DNA sequence: TTCATATATTAGCCTTAGGTAATTCTTTTG
DNA sequence: CAAAAGAATTACCTAAGGCTAATATATGAA
């Protein structure tokens, strides 16, 4: 455990600490996760497609993809196709699984309209420990469906 | 509801959207929340103290406090004391309550060592809707303590 | 009251990650 | 196969939020 996790830091402060370890910024994770999603089906993805999927402009994509290539996570040559390396694929899969896990958890406790956004904002920063807790709690809720049923009642009774 | 919440955006993308609305960046929220915590007891706080509490250097504090002053959230004059305005106090209180709510929730599902960091990373970005869900789920767990007891058993039985 | 120390500020640097405009490369089409 | 259209890149801008070094102000002790 990083002792710095116990001290207070700003939001940016924690992000810097995390980045020291993983080399990946939240944005890079976003790009990699999306590349993974798309490549799983198509085998490759183009800069323009990514810019649409991520709602950013093409030059931002070019730059980030080049950085991911520098890190050895994607294969990319100018004007070419974006493909994942083995390592990129491994990490992409982890990222997608994390996304799905958090999304499913938030969905269980009743988040609807902002599900995508909330998942997105949580996933990049959550600790492995918290992810574990969520995973475990998720399984527990799945194995005991009556709890969520009761919770729905409870919600209604409180006028939510 | 912002329709953009339904489309995929990068992490930064969502932050920008949020910032359009609240005027506050995650870092500014950190500073304001800490100012609130400290002023609640002491009535004021100094730049140097804040830099210690937030683990950043003094010049970063000066700049951010000046921005908060521009927004009318703190009273501050060069070399003086930092105090909250009425509005700053109102927002600070909301921020601290949000922090406590998320912390208590994460703690319930078993986050320990990384509690502070995880709370910090989640609080600035979570939607009002998700916060509501968490609040409600929190109350439900508090009103039904047997659930968390069972969950502890479940955890052990799965070797966590 | 002057000087040393502690605290704040200013100026300026860095990085990330967004953006635009202009340019270059690729592909498609007449 | 040349020209137009589409896609990608480059160069450059912006803002936030860290940082350091240098300067300025305040304060407490001799």
CATH number of the domain within which A135 lies = 1.10.10.10
A-facing residues of B in 83-122 (CB < 8 A) are 106, 109-114, 116-118, 120-122
How does the average pLDDT of chain B come out, rounded? 95
Give the pair of three-digit tokens for residue A65: 């993809």
For chain A, list residues with pLDDT below 70. none
Phi, psi of B110 (to 5 degrees): 110, 10
Number of domains, chain B: 1
Does B145 reside within a domain?
yes
Q: Tens of pLDDT along B10-42?
A: 999 999 999 999 999 999 999 999 999 999 999
Does B93 reside within a domain?
yes
Tell which residue, A11, A40, A41, A47, has the closest CA to residue A26. A11
Does B4 reside within a domain?
no
What does the pLDDT read at residue A84? 98
Range of the domain at A22: 3-157
Q: Structure pTM?
A: 0.92
Q: B106: nearest CA in chain A?
A: A130
- Cα–Cα distance measured from residue A63 to residue A54, given in angstroms and rounded to the nearest whole number: 14
Provide the positions of strand D that have an atom within 7 A of a protein CB: 7-12, 16-21, 25-26
């Amino acid at each position: 455990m990083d002792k710095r996790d116990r001290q207070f830091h700003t939001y940016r402060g924690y992000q810097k600490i995390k980045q020291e370890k993983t080399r990946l910024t939240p944005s890079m994770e976003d790009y990699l996760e999306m590349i993974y999603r798309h490549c799983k089906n198509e085998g490759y993805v183009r800069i323009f497609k990514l810019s649409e999927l991520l709602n950013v402009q093409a030059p931002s994509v070019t730059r980030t993809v080049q950085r991911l290539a520098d890190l050895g996570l994607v294969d990319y040559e100018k004007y070419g196709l974006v493909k994942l390396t083995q390592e990129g694929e491994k990490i992409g899969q982890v990222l997608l699984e994390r996304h799905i896990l958090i999304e499913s958890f938030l969905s269980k406790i009743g988040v609807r309209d902002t599900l995508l956004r909330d998942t997105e904002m949580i996933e990049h920063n959550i600790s492995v420990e918290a992810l574990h807790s969520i995973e475990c709690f998720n399984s527990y809720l799945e194995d005991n469906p009556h709890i969520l049923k009761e919770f729905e009642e409870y919600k209604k009774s409180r006028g939510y």
